[in-house]
Structure 1
Amino acid sequence: MEQTIAWPRVAIVLKGYPRLSETFIAQEILGLKQLGLKLTLVSLRLPTDEREHPVHGEIAEVPNYLPEYLYTDPLRVFRAWRIARKLPFYAEAKRQFLRDWRRDPTPNRGRRFGQALVLAAEMPADVGLIYVHFLHTPGSVARYAGRMLGLPFAVSAHAKDIWTLQDWEKREKLADCAFLVTCTAANAEHLQALAPDPARVGLVYHGLDFGRFPPPDDGAPDDGDRDGRDRDGRDPARPVKLLTVGRLVDKKGYRGLFDALALLPAGCHWRLDIIGGGPLKAELKARAKALGLADRITFLGAMAQAEILERYRTADIFPLNCRVSDDGDRDGLPNVLMEAQSQRLLCVSTRVSAIPELIIDGETGLLVPPNDPEAFAAALSRAIADPALRRRLAEAGLDRVTRHFGYAAGVKTIFRRIGETLGRRA
């Protein structure tokens, strides 16, 4: 039930909206709106996904889409500049941009300032705070626009935006922002070390909305073959069902996952379904074929939430072979692991970022070092051959995720910090 509060409006700046891969952001926006926050959405990019999750419809807000590339709408950018240059702090924002440009003289940097001109010129008059998801490009747009308007900006930082950004830029944004929240303890520790005031950085797990991911109906651990989860890989007619969900990008570790699957014994029968699209699809299909796995792996593409939920409930094991990419990009705490655990599904993953904050090896799932196909294969082999182990760890995973990783507490923390910021400004 939504309520109303007397605070000024908050402009929430997003890299792209709506996005299937970022429903955790939409979940947060909906939670803030239900708590009574007046908001307006701004997106740096037009949507590219063909589908939406139900949460986007519930938010029921149409974003202001900034020009992704300035040359696509030069008149809009020029009109924005004519308005923005008359703002009281425009000269200060321009000096800030030029300082950044000298250290990062790239077209992307110039585009950020152009988008900030449009954001500042078109900002609703009743906005009192700019709250941005992702510290890198969106963070720069929000920072420049906030400086022009004399508005505070706050940040929710996640993964790639932290670990691929240079330290000088992180330090300066941390010095300027009203507050920053991030979704893993590893992220928080790193950013607190760079912040002039470590208290400005807070840990807020995204968490899961259990109303959207209720536990399976039976409410009890599997015993026997009620839903087929006694499969142990020995019967070729009843292969163990593996499921993974995630964009086809390097940090998800699909190459290493395929290498691990190729190491499983010939008499071990399994099938893998992959939900998600991305730039590595052609390469991964070729790799599966070269390893002799093509007939066991199915690429399903993007799916709606209800379809994914059903897939969780009929799978046996959820492998997610996360890694740190060569450019430093990595996952924070993948929501799909929490989703899988909420459906009493055993997760096999790696010790990357905050995954060990969720999964305790040997207690609530199985963890191995990243970039180690042999170790991943050994963990998969153990899980495939032992249905009782799967049931025990999956039940413990469900208990842990429901006790410690609900989303409501995090949304309330962000809501409180927004209120404190708006109160200080008033």
Structure 2
Amino acid sequence: MACNPRGCCEMLGFSMPARIAYLYSRYPVVSQTFCDSEMLALEALGFELEVVSLNPPPDSFRHERLDRLQAEIHYPAPDAVLNAQAATTEFEAALGPLIREHDEKYGKGFKAEIRARNAWHAAKRLRKLGIGHVHVHFANRATHSALFLKRLGFTFSFTAHAQDFMVDLGSDDLLREMVDEAAFVVTVSDFSRQLLLSMCPGHDAKTVRIYNGIELNDFPYANARDEGALRVVSVGRLIEFKGFQHLIGAVRLLKDQGVNIQARIVGEGPLRASLEALIASQEVASQVTLLGPLSQENIKRELAAAHVFVHPGIVDQKGASDILPTVITEAMACCLPVVSTTVAGIPEMVVHGETGLLTEPGDERQLADALIQMMRHPSQRREMGRAGRCRAETRFMLDGGDGGGTARQIAQLFERTMEGREEAPRVMAPVAYFIEAGDLYEVGDLPVDERLRCIAAGVEKKSALPAHDMEYVPDAVVLESLWLRYSYWRQQVEKLRSQFGDAITGENFYRDVRRAFWLAENLPKRGVKHLHAFRSNALVTVWLWNKITGLSISAAIEENPTLSRSLLQKLLAEIELTSIADPKLADASGADALQLLHPPDHRTIQMGPIKLKKRVVVAKVDRKPVEKAWLERILQHLHA
């Protein structure tokens, strides 16, 4: 049952309802499930969230649980647009001095101008969303961008893990500035809090340890039978500090002792080829399986079928390591005993001899002996698993446990930070225009109206900055993730493919479908109830959006349209509100409210052997009155 925001917030003693944004360098990232869990728990407590990703996600893989996330995910505009925005005098006046200060203090390698550019673009979106505070996971590039957001009037907080500020960030001075400027800082373990405070002294009051929590009850209890091979599961990116190479070495030792073991490693990463080679050279291909990346539901199945969870973490050559691996908590939720190492904050999770066994990092003999102990003492193994579950319930539960649950702990920090603020309301636009990049030259005539949201697609690298405040269809990897995710929509629209015949290529159809998926997922979250095709080249996407959502649409067709007239006649027959300027298209209503001319084109001029392309100049007409009248007509149509 959905949480009532007012009821949940009042139970916590919060004002109604708290609104914040989570800012990421990239989102989603398959290995960062703790971020998803935290946001889902906050939404359940009544928070209204927005997600801002400063870059496209690294791949199209998404966990099923993201279907439950209510927050809209906002992706950046194309680089050409971001660069154009950063070339304005307003940008220079607001952020230029801080860019030069950071270049001088930290060096050009920290790319202060890009961080500022990203912040400038994000700030425009956040203001329209009524957001005044952002939270960042990891002390990294996104937190660097948050420093520029603060200069633009926002407040921020961040969660520091350890590897992020120990290794990845690359500057203790920049870390100190981040901590100085943050409203508060969360660390995910006592280990990382002590480390952070040793590097940034004097901030004890604002630095709070909150463990990464999980939804414990989402995980089934392990139910593997005692007979047969010892079934071991390990999960993580295939990188050095995860220590999978040592698990493979320990399996080889166990094989030599005649121990029947099956180790299953879930994850993907740059070391896959070298791990495959190690498995072959150690002759343990029958004992070790690299499963690749799995969805969260499939990971739960692997955990439920295991006897032991192993996390063989080490400190790598750069000094990086896991600090508080969420996968250990997930294994504890399944009542699995954990075999791990004494690295960083892992002893805060695994109590040696009580909830599992700890070994020295990189010691394959110790790791093998720990697994033998697990195999030989199944009753002890089960008792450790139960103790681990109890420990997870008191320390790592999102909703419950000591302190009311990890989600409630961070919720209280957000509420204190925003206490007394009067935040602007979120802009809910009932109408959206969908515009192909080639038509952006005309958007300056559109009314600037909070009821209207303008979205462009197909923007090229050299596109000029449009006069109107635009949003943009995100990178292809985002569209592909939605295509893979929404199987029901996919089946629905593919049945419509035959209606287009040869009038549209398969390539263009599937491009438009993917755009329609993104629009269908995101526009309703901002209150959009009507989508308008700005020109004929936007109509297929808008028509498909209607088939998916059932919401109303309209279309404006210019003279000499880019789509075939036979196809346009089919599509327009299903649309009540149209403006058709093409004389060869039958318009049942006889209305041509917008009187759209064909877009400016080029003609070829032959000068001997030389061919030149000259742009056809169309006389500028003030279209603002007719565009404003058309928007009002759409709004009247909505309320009819």
Q: TM-score range by the shorter chain?
A: 0.7 to 0.9
Q: Is 1:82 matched with 2:88?
A: yes
- State the distance in 2 between where 1:382 and 1:393 align: 12
Residue 7 of structure 1: CA displacement? 5.8
Judge which range, 25-34 or 55-64, deviates more. 55-64
* Corresponding position of 2:183: 178
* Corresponding position of 1:119: 122
1:164-214 per-position Cα deviation (integer Å, ceiling 9, x unaligned): 133222211111111010111111111223143211110001122123125
The residue identity in structure 2 corresponding to 1:133 is: H
Q: CA 1:61–1:326 in structure 2 vs 1: closer, same or farther (change >3 Å)?
A: same
Q: Is 1:319 matched with 2:319?
A: no
The residue identity in structure 2 corresponding to 1:414 is: I
Determine if contact 2:245/2:275 at 8 Å carries over to the other structure: yes
Tell me the SS of whatever aligns to 1:199. Answer: coil
Q: Is 1:168 matched with 2:178?
A: no
Q: CA 1:57–1:230 in structure 2 vs 1: closer, same or farther (change >3 Å)?
A: same
Q: CA 1:392–1:95 in structure 2 vs 1: closer, same or farther (change >3 Å)?
A: same
Judge which range, 359-368 or 206-215, deviates more. 206-215
Residue 80 of structure 1: CA displacement? 4.5
The equivalent position to 1:132 in structure 2, one of 121, 129, 136, is 136
- State the distance in 2 between where 1:191 and 1:160 align: 11
Tell me the SS of whatever aligns to 1:63. Answer: strand
- State the distance in 1 between where 2:418 and 2:89 align: 25
Identity of aligned residues (%): 30
* Corresponding position of 1:158: 161
1:318-343 per-position Cα deviation (integer Å, ceiling 9, x unaligned): 11101122222221211111111111
- State the distance in 2 between where 1:424 and 1:104 align: 38
The residue identity in structure 2 corresponding to 1:204 is: I
TM-score by length of 2: 0.59
Tell me the SS of whatever aligns to 1:123. Answer: helix
Tell me the SS of whatever aligns to 1:208. Answer: coil
The residue identity in structure 2 corresponding to 1:66 is: P
Residue 301 of structure 1: CA displacement? 1.2
Determine if contact 2:188/2:211 at 8 Å carries over to the other structure: yes
1:214-261 per-position Cα deviation (integer Å, ceiling 9, x unaligned): 545xxxxxxxxxx55323xxxxxx221111111111110111221222
Residue 84 of structure 1: CA displacement? 4.9
Tell me the SS of whatever aligns to 1:124. Answer: helix
1:42-73 per-position Cα deviation (integer Å, ceiling 9, x unaligned): 11232234432233111133322236xxxx62
**Long gaps (5+) in structure 2:** 7-14, 400-404, 423-640
* Corresponding position of 1:15: 25
The equivalent position to 1:213 in structure 2, one of 205, 209, 219, is 219
Tell me the SS of whatever aligns to 1:344. Answer: coil
Tell me the SS of whatever aligns to 1:20. Answer: coil
Tell me the SS of whatever aligns to 1:287. Answer: helix
Determine if contact 1:7/1:422 at 8 Å carries over to the other structure: no
1:89-146 per-position Cα deviation (integer Å, ceiling 9, x unaligned): 535533443344xx33216554323322322343324221121111111110111122
Determine if contact 2:119/2:148 at 8 Å carries over to the other structure: yes
Determine if contact 2:396/2:406 at 8 Å carries over to the other structure: no
Q: CA 1:213–1:228 in structure 2 vs 1: closer, same or farther (change >3 Å)?
A: closer
* Corresponding position of 1:221: none
Tell me the SS of whatever aligns to 1:345. Answer: coil
The residue identity in structure 2 corresponding to 1:240 is: L
Judge which range, 254-263 or 196-205, deviates more. 254-263
Q: CA 1:108–1:294 in structure 2 vs 1: closer, same or farther (change >3 Å)?
A: farther
The residue identity in structure 1 corresponding to 2:412 is: R
Q: Is 1:420 matched with 2:421?
A: no
- State the distance in 1 between where 2:202 and 2:226 align: 54
The equivalent position to 1:37 in structure 2, one of 43, 47, 58, is 47
Determine if contact 2:95/2:116 at 8 Å carries over to the other structure: no
Judge which range, 314-323 or 256-265, deviates more. 256-265
- State the distance in 2 between where 1:86 and 1:281 align: 45
The residue identity in structure 2 corresponding to 1:423 is: E
1:252-293 per-position Cα deviation (integer Å, ceiling 9, x unaligned): 011122122222243111111111111111110001111111
Q: CA 1:283–1:308 in structure 2 vs 1: closer, same or farther (change >3 Å)?
A: same
Residue 381 of structure 1: CA displacement? 2.1
What are the equivalent positions in structure 2 for 1:135-150 lying under 5 Å apart?
135-147=139-151, 149-150=152-153
The residue identity in structure 2 corresponding to 1:410 is: T
Q: CA 1:133–1:84 in structure 2 vs 1: closer, same or farther (change >3 Å)?
A: farther
- State the distance in 2 between where 1:120 and 1:56 align: 25
The residue identity in structure 1 corresponding to 2:131 is: V
Determine if contact 1:81/1:118 at 8 Å carries over to the other structure: no
The equivalent position to 1:230 in structure 2, one of 226, 229, 232, is 226
Higher relative contact order (CA 8 A, sep 6+): 1
* Corresponding position of 2:202: 196
Residue 3 of structure 1: CA displacement? 0.2
What are the equivalent positions in structure 2 for 1:261-410 lying under 5 Å apart?
261-264=251-254, 265-408=256-399, 409-410=405-406
Determine if contact 1:3/1:35 at 8 Å carries over to the other structure: yes
Max Rg structure: 2
Judge which range, 77-86 or 405-414, deviates more. 77-86
The equivalent position to 2:5 in structure 1, one of 3, 6, 16, is 3
* Corresponding position of 2:629: none
- State the distance in 2 between where 1:414 and 1:332 align: 19
* Corresponding position of 1:250: 240
- State the distance in 2 between where 1:389 and 1:373 align: 22
- State the distance in 1 between where 2:285 and 2:41 align: 42
Tell me the SS of whatever aligns to 1:330. Answer: coil
Q: CA 1:8–1:82 in structure 2 vs 1: closer, same or farther (change >3 Å)?
A: farther
Tell me the SS of whatever aligns to 1:44. Answer: strand
The equivalent position to 2:230 in structure 1, one of 240, 255, 260, is 240
The residue identity in structure 1 corresponding to 2:359 is: V
Residue 370 of structure 1: CA displacement? 1.0
Judge which range, 385-394 or 73-82, deviates more. 73-82
Judge which range, 203-212 or 31-40, deviates more. 31-40
The residue identity in structure 2 corresponding to 1:128 is: G
Judge which range, 296-305 or 361-370, deviates more. 296-305
The residue identity in structure 2 corresponding to 1:179 is: F
Q: CA 1:254–1:108 in structure 2 vs 1: closer, same or farther (change >3 Å)?
A: farther
* Corresponding position of 1:223: none
Determine if contact 2:224/2:304 at 8 Å carries over to the other structure: no
Determine if contact 1:205/1:407 at 8 Å carries over to the other structure: no
The equivalent position to 1:53 in structure 2, one of 63, 66, 81, is 63
- State the distance in 1 between where 2:420 and 2:344 align: 34
Judge which range, 266-275 or 9-18, deviates more. 9-18
* Corresponding position of 2:427: none
Residue 86 of structure 1: CA displacement? 6.8
Tell me the SS of whatever aligns to 1:111. Answer: helix
Determine if contact 2:63/2:295 at 8 Å carries over to the other structure: yes
- State the distance in 2 between where 1:155 and 1:35 align: 20
Residue 78 of structure 1: CA displacement? 1.6
- State the distance in 2 between where 1:266 and 1:86 align: 68
- State the distance in 2 between where 1:83 and 1:362 align: 64
